Amino acid sequence: MNTAILAEPRKLYVSRTILALAGLIAVAIAATILFAPGAFYAGYGINLSGNPTLANELKAPSGMLLVTGLIMFAGVARREWVVPSLATASVVYLSYGVARVISIALDGVPHSGMVSAAVIELVIGAICLAALLSGKRKLLIWTAQR
């Protein structure tokens, strides 16, 4: 198993802290969309009342977000999951952020909350990717020295 980030206790603590925050955000958003979608989307000016098709379409990706958030938490609980959890967090947050940027470019600027979400997603994704790549570099150096 690729355990680059595991070699250094401080790096492991930082990586696990990043994963705890990323996982908490993902799980909280997913749970809110699943169980209180009207309240969640009302903050963005989207009205779901009387439109079960739209509610269903918006809830579907929250299942994946919930599962990926739990994978992020696995990296907090189990040291051998740190690398795959950081990879998952990087992909999830960066893909959401990049997709929002593409939407802004193609469709125009949405509600300010959506723009803020894009920035936050890109920042979290970049932090997770930096932690992942930092650990991978240390593994390559450590492996070369053996």
Cα gap 38→47, rounded to integer Å? 7
**Per-residue pLDDT of the chain in tens (146 residues, 90 and over written 9):** 555 544 556 678 889 999 999 999 999 999 999 999 999 999 999 999 989 999 999 999 999 999 999 999 999 999 889 999 999 999 999 999 999 999 999 999 999 999 999 999 999 999 999 999 987 655 444 444 44
DSSP labels for 43-68?
A: TTT---TT-HHHHHHHHHHHHHHHHH
134 CB contacts (<8 Å, ≥6 apart)?
Answer: 5, 11
pTM of the entire structure? 0.85
